Amino acid sequence: MIEVTAAGLAAHPFLHGMSPDHLAVLARAASDVAFPAGQGLVPIDTIGMGELVGWSWLFPPFMWAFGAVAASPVETFEFDARTVRALCAVDMALSYEVTWRVARVLTKRLKSTRSRLITVSMQPVGAG
């Protein structure tokens, strides 16, 4: 297994600009993981390199609300949710940084979903 470092996390777009101290703390909760390519039945959204996959770990009841399928092999960082929540509980600045970054992703995804729903709802019945 490859060790995750603060420098490695700093290169990730989601964490870009986070303080070195916070990156070092998060690196202790991170692991490097890989997923093979798979096939999704009903794609809801498509995300690209450097984007956050899930946020269910941050909000009660801390259970996955959606799944994900890799269109091609993926190597990424995975964080231990309990550890990150515990770290955020004792460091409000880290909690703010993580929550603010997740909120930005949520806002972007909601806008994207809204646009797709408007587009689909404007199609004639039976089209597509």
pLDDT in tens, 15-26: 999 999 999 999
Contact 38, 67 (CB under 8 A): no
Residue 128 lies in a domain: no
% the chain with pLDDT above 90: 49
| CB-based contact 83:127 (threshold 8 Å) | no
Residue 69 lies in a domain: yes
**Model confidence pLDDT, tens digit, residues 51-95:** 888 888 888 898 887 778 888 898 889 999 999 999 999 999 999
The whole-angstrom separation of Cα 80 and Cα 62 is: 12
The pLDDT, as a whole number, for residue 96 is 97
**CATH classification at residue 105:** 2.60.120.10
Please indicate, yes or no, if residue 91 is contained in any of the structural domains: yes
What are the phi and psi torsion angles at 79 (to 5°)?
-105, 140
Q: What is the model's pLDDT at position 4?
A: 95
User: What is the domain range of residue 38?
Assistant: 6-121
Distance separating alpha carbons of residues 73 and 64, to the nearest angstrom: 21
The pLDDT score that the predictor gives to residue 97 is 97
C-alpha to C-alpha distance for 32 and 90, rounded to whole angstroms: 25
CB 31 within 8 A of CB 77: yes
Cα gap 29→84, rounded to integer Å: 6
Q: What is the pLDDT of residue 68?
A: 81
Number of domains in the chain: 1
Tell whether 1 is covered by a domain: no
Task: Let me know if residue 126 belongs to a domain.
Answer: no
Whole-number average pLDDT of the chain:
88
Coil, strand or helix at 75: strand
The residue to which tokens 């490097």 are assigned: 32
